[in-house]
Amino acid sequence: MKSVEELTDLFRLRGLKVTPQRQCIFRALHAMEGAHPSAEAVHAAVLGELPMVSLKTVYQTLNDLVAMGELRHLGLGSGPARFDVNIDTHQHLACEGCGRTWDVYADLSALHVPDSAMDFAVSATDVVFRGRCASCAPDPDEDLQKEPVGAPASARI
Amino acid sequence: MKSVEELTDLFRLRGLKVTPQRQCIFRALHAMEGAHPSAEAVHAAVLGELPMVSLKTVYQTLNDLVAMGELRHLGLGSGPARFDVNIDTHQHLACEGCGRTWDVYADLSALHVPDSAMDFAVSATDVVFRGRCASCAPDPDEDLQKEPVGAPASARI
DNA sequence: CAGCTAAATGACAAGAATTGTTAGGTGGTA
DNA sequence: TACCACCTAACAATTCTTGTCATTTAGCTG
């Protein structure tokens, strides 16, 4: 995630205005480096500083950031959309037990698409490893919703 | 996708009832082999045969099939959820132009999770190649702030 | 074959997530 | 400073999915 100053400049370059609300959202996202917040989570963080910012404004700014490529929009399954503050090329571990998500850096160099897709121009490859984290031990009861206790090595959601 | 008879047996084994509506949904799904319909699309197909089936019933039956592992629930991005009639291990090409999706069979044997995630039990690996299909030529108007992400050796495959 | 019971159905409406509308406010520039 | 396009916030609408509940029905049992 770029600094608040860089984002400010990028917004101005695009003809978008830089308001206190937006800068507050920038700061909130910066504090969430490595996390995968929902729009609601960002909104909650922003409210701590500017209590009058509407959820709509947060959605709008997040969408602007996604359009600028400064934020990744994640579709990790059901529920609210999640945003990824880390725009480096990376993949995700998604725990089906607690719903948390971690960044991982896997080697995709050996991953190639069959020739049958030759006329398809691939611009991005999304990889999600689904399973259960250490705190959500593999459990035959899929419906069990247990509270997580600990977290894997790099634990930011 | 298993045959209507096999699905009927599986439902009975699970203590689920097999109604005319459900068998009609089974048939509709069978006719969609290889497609990625939304619940609404399945509903539309079913209405051609049984005009009184509610969308709720379709959702219910599709969710049952997903719970039984006879149907895959796809989260390909925004919009309504899509279902995959093909439950073999495979990946997807998702066109950002027309929204269509194709099955592909890529070799994931070389794709492994980094050691940092050793205490994560991976049960499935979702791979989606995003880009543009042959009919949706890359759009020059698109503001390309984002760099191509994760494209292996050959960007066009 | 009749009866029982848990499950399924369908009409309706609620819920969750996201976006449109609109009147008024404001950043950035001349 | 003044202007204007853009932004904000409240509200409502939209889209997708699921809950509620009275009624019906599949499939077992005797």
Tens of pLDDT, residues A22-76: 999 999 999 999 999 999 999 999 999 999 999 999 999 999 999 999 999 998 8
Task: Give the residue on A whose Cα is nearest the Cα of B81.
Answer: A78
Give chain A residues 45-84 with Cβ within 7 A of strand C. Answer: 55-56, 59, 63, 79-81
Q: What pLDDT, in 10s, does the model give residues A112-127?
A: 887 777 789 999 899 9
Query: Is the domain defined by B4-74 classed in CATH 1.10.10.60?
Result: no
CATH 1.10.10.10 domain extents, chain A: 4-74
Question: Does the structure show a pLDDT above 60 at B81?
Answer: yes
Q: What pLDDT, in 10s, does the model give residues B84-105?
A: 999 999 999 999 888 889 999 9
Q: What is the length of chain A?
A: 157
Q: What pLDDT, in 10s, does the model give residues B19-64?
A: 999 999 999 999 999 999 999 999 999 999 999 999 999 999 999 9
CATH 3.30.1490.190 domain extents, chain A: 88-157
Report whether A87 contacts B145 (CB < 8 A).
no
Average pLDDT (B7-30) is: 97
Which residues from chain B sit within 8 angstroms of residue A77, using beta carbons?
Answer: 73, 75
What's the CATH fold of domain A88-157?
Dna Ligase; domain 1 (3.30.1490)
Q: Which nucleotide is nearest to B21 (CA to C1')?
A: C9
Q: How far is B37 from chain A (nearest CA, A)?
A: 16
Q: Name the 3-class secondary structure at A54.
A: coil
Listed as ranges, the nucleotides of chain D within 7 A of a protein C-beta are 5-12, 15-20, 25-28
Question: Does the structure show a pLDDT above 70 at B150?
Answer: no
Q: What's the pLDDT score for residue B50?
A: 97
Average pLDDT (B124-145) is: 73
**Would the CB atoms of B128 and A125 count as touching at under 8 Å?**
yes
Q: What's the pLDDT score for residue A4?
A: 95
Give the residue, B143 or A128, on which the prediction is more confident: A128
State how far the Cα of A30 lies from the Cα of A45, in Å rounded to an integer. Answer: 11
Q: Which nucleotide is nearest to B18 (CA to C1')?
A: D26
Residue in A78, A95, A122 nearest the CB of B131? A122
Task: Give the residue on A whose Cα is nearest the Cα of B76.
Answer: A75
Report whether A111 contacts B138 (CB < 8 A).
no
Please report how the helices B20-31 and B4-13 are oriented relative to each other, as an axis angle in degrees rounded to 10. Answer: 140
Q: What's the pLDDT score for residue A141?
A: 46
User: CB under 8 Å to A125, separation ≥6 — which residues?
Assistant: A108, A111, B127, B128, B129, B130, B149, B150, B151, B152
User: Residue B63 CA to C12 C1' — how many Å?
Assistant: 21
CATH 3.30.1490 domain extents, chain B: 88-131
Question: Does the structure show a pLDDT above 90 at A107?
Answer: no
Residue in A104, A115, A120 nearest the CB of B133? A120
Q: What's the pLDDT score for residue A65?
A: 97
Which residues from chain A sit within 8 angstroms of residue B131, using beta carbons?
Answer: 120-124
CATH number of B88-131: 3.30.1490
Asked whether strand C has any atom less than 7 Å from the CB of B13, the reply is no
Average pLDDT (B120-125) is: 90
End-to-end Cα, chain B, rounded Å:
28
Report whether A74 contacts A81 (CB < 8 A).
yes
- Chain A contact for B123 (CB, 8 A cutoff): yes
